[in-house]
Amino acid sequence: MTAEASLSAHQLTHSDLIINGEEVAARSGDAFQRVSPAHDVPVGSYARGDADDVAAAIAAARTAFDSGPWPRRSGQERARVLHRTGELIRREREDLARLEALESGKPITQALDEVDAAADLWEYAATLARHSFGEAHNHLGTDVLAMVVNEPIGVVSIITPWNFPLLIVSQKLPFALAVGCTAVVKPSELTPGMTARLGRLLLEAGVDPGVVNVVTGQGGVGAAMSAHPDTDMVSFTGSTAVGRKVAAAAGAQLKRVELELGGKNPQIICADADLDAALDAVVFGVYFNAGECCNSGSRVLVEASIAAQFQEALVERARRVPVGDPLDRATKVGAITSAEQLATIERYVAEGRQSGSDLLMGGARRPSERGCFYEPTIFAGVQPEMSIANEEIFGPVLSVLSFDDLDEAISIANSTMYGLSAGIWTSNINSALTAAQRLQAGTIWVNRWMDGYPELPFGGYKTSGEGRELGSQAIGSFTQTKTIQLQVGPRTARWVPESGN
């Protein structure tokens, strides 16, 4: 199907909130539309929830947790629902991907990959539903047996961003459900369609009423979810600035928080690396999803002896990246998701120009009859103190820095407030291991970039976040530990002596 045919085939539909297992209108009766950032046409209509709807959703989740069947179901039963959800996501693959491409501006091929990855996460989480267990201690003495059990933490507020609307909710929600939690989910108002569809698929898969509630809306919904006293935890993915506010609101009530925040992720390119492979990974790392990615490789640190050669090859390869309509399967860089984000990118590029760095390519909006597009951009001669080198831009903008030795490269890589991911390209095993040990980041890639697997935990150091998603560790975020001690035989010890002794 051509891009034009795919756009014309899309049906503008309305999605209500999901509260207590039912699709309901917002209490205010209000709704809002999402306009495609690539095509400037409405692509979805959604109920505009507010604090009253949040309160109703949390009440439903609270009741479902406190007295409903979900936390009391066996791991096997919960696993069946999670696995069925993964199957339903795969069934809806084409429609989901087209909706995401329209709402986010993401290229359709990348949206299809995201749907596949999300389904895989639900299926992996299903396995953990049957492998959540504690431990027993039977060597504390002959008169005691102790058990350590993990219980679901309760009602979880889940707040997700616009850049990977199905993947990121799937990094959180199935793991919370696997151990028996209930949830209220708020997607970004820019890309609400994927979560609204997911909520309906969960009902089809057999999740109990009130277990998953979806509140779409704009300002105030996330704040109400973070501060509500009847939730036990907040799981948030987004900017570090907003993450601080979420943590402050949750911290005032001593709620648990899980935060996956920003990144300014470096790739270190050593002179002894496979430079062709590194070039491809650098171009992929910064222009994938138009750079709107917390793991974006937006800094590249190149050994000085090869810097000029690498920069020339980098520009040549970057100029061949197809930019255009996200519904065109040849496109690799689609639209910027919002006019606000486009303005942010333009501000950082202006700062890069003013700082004295060298603009090698791009640096401007891409001419188009409609939509928000930005040219892939490369700055060279960048210094570590420049804003384009140490602040998250969230756009297709690459900063190239140079270094003389590995110690300097690691120092530059660690010089920002972020610590989400980092990588090194080298054929020297000692360099690779040294970097892996000393780089301050939650994920280190060696001779690869931005690969992810459900089995491997994901999260950041420093201001890139708190806690870990994915892997077997993920369910630990949604459980609390209880110790149970049992007396074996009669308790013979006496603190106060018996009378007459």
Write out the catalytic residue numbers. 260, 294
Q: Which pair of tokens denotes residue 365?
A: 């909006």
Whether residue 311 contacts residue 280, with contact meaning beta carbons closer than 8 Å, is answered with: no
Long-range contacts, 218-223 (Cβ 8 Å, 24+): 218/32, 218/48, 218/189, 220/50, 220/51, 221/49, 221/50, 221/51, 221/53, 221/54, 221/186, 222/159, 222/186, 222/246, 223/249
End-to-end CA distance of the chain: 93
Q: Give just the sign of the alpha carbon dihedral 51, 55, 56, 58.
A: positive
Query: What SS3 state is found at 105?
Result: coil
- Given the DSSP bridges, would you call strands 42-47 and 31-35 parallel, antiparallel or unpaired? antiparallel
Report the interhelical angle of 93-104 vs 193-205 (nearest 10°): 160
CA distance 46 to 192: 8
CA distance 19 to 21: 6
Neighbours of 145 (CB within 10 A): 16
Q: Which helix (H) or strand (E) holds 136?
A: strand 135-137
- How many residues are there in the chain? 501
Number of helices and strands in the chain (H, E): 16, 23
Residue keyed to tokens 């009423």: 209
- Give 461: exposed, middle or buried? Use CB within 10 Å, 0-12, 13-18, 19+: middle
Whether residue 213 contacts residue 185, with contact meaning beta carbons closer than 8 Å, is answered with: yes
Q: DSSP letter at 365?
A: B
Nearest Cα neighbor of 214 from 230, 231, 229, 196 is 196
- Given the DSSP bridges, would you call strands 421-425 and 266-269 parallel, antiparallel or unpaired? parallel
Query: What SS3 state is found at 377?
Result: strand
Nearest Cα neighbor of 216 from 313, 103, 68 is 103
Q: Give just the sign of the alpha carbon dihedral 108, 114, 117, 118.
A: negative
Q: In sequence order, what DSSP letters do the residues of 48-67 get, joined into one string?
A: -B-HHHHHHHHHHHHHHHHH
Q: Give Cβ neighbours of residue 69 (< 8 Å, ≥ 6 apart).
A: 208
Q: Which pair of tokens denotes residue 360?
A: 């090698």
